[in-house]
Structure 1
Amino acid sequence: MTELHSYPECVGLVLAAGYGQRFGSDKRLAKLADGNNLLVATLLRAQEAFSDVRIVLKAEDDAQALAIPPYIQVVRAAQAKQGMGSSLAAGIKSLAHSQADAVAVLLGDMPWVSLATLLQLRAHAHAEHIVVAYCDGQRGHPVLFGRRFWPELMQLRGENGAKGLIATHAQHVIEVTFNDSGILQDVDKPADLSHPATS
């Protein structure tokens, strides 16, 4: 783990404040084959790649009940009900005192992104760039946003995530293609738990 601390330039920000109605219960607690719940598996993978990992939760979430490790900083999204944009804005605001050059925005229901993919994305982190991952021609997660774009991310509201911002700043976007279907694979319903990505 000591090697990670020589890479303070990119924070891992896991968004997990959604309501996931399609799953039928709190999917963050759904168990995976390795015995971890979905959210913890995502956090553990993020922690392998980023020395500073933060998680965005709803105001009412019980971090202990979700089994979130105590050393991961919890950010509360007061407006989580409004949608992902509001949650992302809350997470970016938590970086006000960070010295990092970039933030990797990960989704809490995507535990199958490979470590190699995360490390390669992190290597592209830069204050002036947006780094976007692709697999089979499709854009996936995480997305890395350089510090230059944080003020705009803080203004996001409601359901609108950062797609518009990415389109607006197309000249600053770096596209990286992976043979890693984990960057496309989220969990919306229980059947999705039995289809881990092969990478």
Structure 2
Amino acid sequence: MTTYASFAESIGVMDKAFISFVGAGGKTSLIKRLSWELFQMGKRVAVTTTTKMDANQSPQFWNASKVQNEEEIEETIRRSSGLGLVPFFYSAVEENDKLSGFSPDFTERIFKKVDYLLVEADGARGASFKVPRAHEPVLSEATTHLCIVMGCDIFESYPQEGLFFNFEELSKTPGFHRDEIVTPFTIRKLILMKDGYLRFARKDRKIFLVINKVDSASTMESMIQIAGEFYHCDFEKIILISREEGSPVISVDNSGDRVAGVILAAGKSERFGRQKLCEKIEGEAIIGRVVRQSLESKLDSVCVVLGYEAKQVRKCLDLLESHPALMWINNPNFERGMGSSISEAVSAVSSWADAVMIILGDMPAITTDIIDGVLEVYKKYKSKICYPVVEGRQGHPVIFRKELFPDLISLSGDTGAHKVIELNAEWAKVVEISNGRSQMDIDTAEDLEKFKSII
């Protein structure tokens, strides 16, 4: 959990950004706050919409201006700067004091003239939660930051019109029941719907889930707990924010940072014909090479799971025996396969570790840099699963967050954790790496000779 002094700081202040707000639960209030913060920082900021905004919600520091072309945009920016105001652009005034906005193309023309453009790209008619319809939101391709907003007042209450946009249609959604209290799990399913806002995710666009209206200390405390339910690898951050200007902003981490490395070294080496982990590569045992690289990484501890010929394997690690981060785990059931070793290891570290990184003891090319690279991505996104991808294929090592410990502890047989990865694919964050040789494992004497020939 990280506390920021401002909304701008929480999303990361850059030289230039096109920030679109979608969803419900106070988009306009957030745009007001962010525009003021950026303006106070000396940024050239402007506000507009691709839908409609209420003229009565325009604050005193906005200069509401009707424009139709680039000349009028530039003139409004100059006039607003002279007045010490933030330009707010609209195209027409409609009934009920609604101000119409522009097409995405026109907003991109505005963006060329300023450092920051804040765009309300969705309508919700005062509701606190919204699932977009097929034609919504009206989002520009130029959007660099997408804020998906919802109000925290939707939780622990029964669904009702006013809180939920397009309530009648939403009521037909599987899992959403009028007569059941709204839970974080229900909302998570709606947020992650196939046709929801995450369909606009792309590599060069940062997406923030912003939970608004967190206006009291008690509400903040409960929202910190609830926010962990909304993790998705496409979210840059989950932000908790109050409507009160100047109040602190909190970014919620979904788990702690303590990661235990688990090196699987209990197998029988049947295809090799003898204990392969003690075979030497450049004078160093295979298992010694893997353990050394792991101990030199940023892992909080390194646990070696022993089984078949445990004394012989441990003897290969004599020079590392005294390392304070090294732990030993004995698997009496090693003959039952890799799953039993993962189960023993996770059970042993579950009381203190927030995640485990599974490392195969027969993969001597997994370097400290690869381990730290996967760790860095995991700690940034707090994904339930994190692993490298090499040439389009899932590689090793693999990190599993604490929520998946029960699934790992229940493993048996020789299939490893593949099923756990499969069942939780939507939670995974991948790390692209180009070193294909890093994924070489030593199963046979021929594999060992091939490895020696290319290192």
TM-score, length basis structure 1: 0.87
Aligned to 1:94, the other structure's residue is in SS state helix
Do structure 1's residue 181 and structure 2's residue 429 form an aligned pair?
no
The percentage of counterpart residues that share the same residue type is 26
> Equivalences for 1:70-149 in 2 at 5 Å?
70=321, 71=323, 72-98=326-352, 100-125=353-378, 128-149=383-404
1:112-171: CA deviation from partner (whole Å, max 9, x where unpaired) = 113222111001235551012111122211111011111110010112311111111111
The aligned counterpart of 1:10 is 259
Counterpart Cα distance in 2 of 1:64 and 1:120: 28
Aligned to 2:351, the other structure's residue is in SS state coil
The aligned counterpart of 2:317 is 67
> Equivalences for 1:139-178 in 2 at 5 Å?
139-178=394-433
Structure 1 161/64 Cα, relative in aligned 2: closer, same or farther at 3 Å?
closer
| Aligned pair partner of 2:285 in 24, 37, 49 | 37
Counterpart Cα distance in 2 of 1:195 and 1:104: 27
Amino acid at match of 1:161: G
Amino acid at match of 2:265: A
Q: Is the 8 A contact 2:269 2:276 kept in 1?
A: yes
| Aligned pair partner of 1:23 in 272, 286, 293 | 272
Return 5+ residue gaps in structure 2 as ranges: 1-255
The aligned counterpart of 2:233 is none
Q: Is the 8 A contact 2:307 2:331 kept in 1?
A: yes
1:32-91: CA deviation from partner (whole Å, max 9, x where unpaired) = 01x110100000011111241010011761154333532321101111101001111011
Amino acid at match of 1:157: S
Q: Is the 8 A contact 2:365 2:439 kept in 1?
A: no
Q: Is the 8 A contact 1:114 1:180 kept in 2?
A: no
Q: Is the 8 A contact 2:268 2:308 kept in 1?
A: no
Counterpart Cα distance in 1 of 2:403 and 2:307: 27
Counterpart Cα distance in 2 of 1:134 and 1:165: 17
Amino acid at match of 1:94: A
Counterpart Cα distance in 2 of 1:151 and 1:195: 38
Q: Is the 8 A contact 2:265 2:306 kept in 1?
A: yes
Aligned to 2:267, the other structure's residue is in SS state coil
Q: Is the 8 A contact 2:275 2:309 kept in 1?
A: no
Q: Is the 8 A contact 1:8 1:52 kept in 2?
A: no
Runs of 4+ in 1 over 6 A off after TM superposition: none
Pick 1 or 2: higher relative contact order, CA cutoff 8 A, min separation 6: 1
Counterpart Cα distance in 2 of 1:175 and 1:159: 24
Aligned to 1:124, the other structure's residue is in SS state helix
Amino acid at match of 2:368: L
Q: CA RMSD in A?
A: 2.2
Aligned to 2:389, the other structure's residue is in SS state strand
The aligned counterpart of 1:195 is 450
Q: Is the 8 A contact 1:135 1:179 kept in 2?
A: yes
Counterpart Cα distance in 2 of 1:60 and 1:21: 12
Counterpart Cα distance in 2 of 1:56 and 1:178: 27
Aligned to 2:394, the other structure's residue is in SS state strand
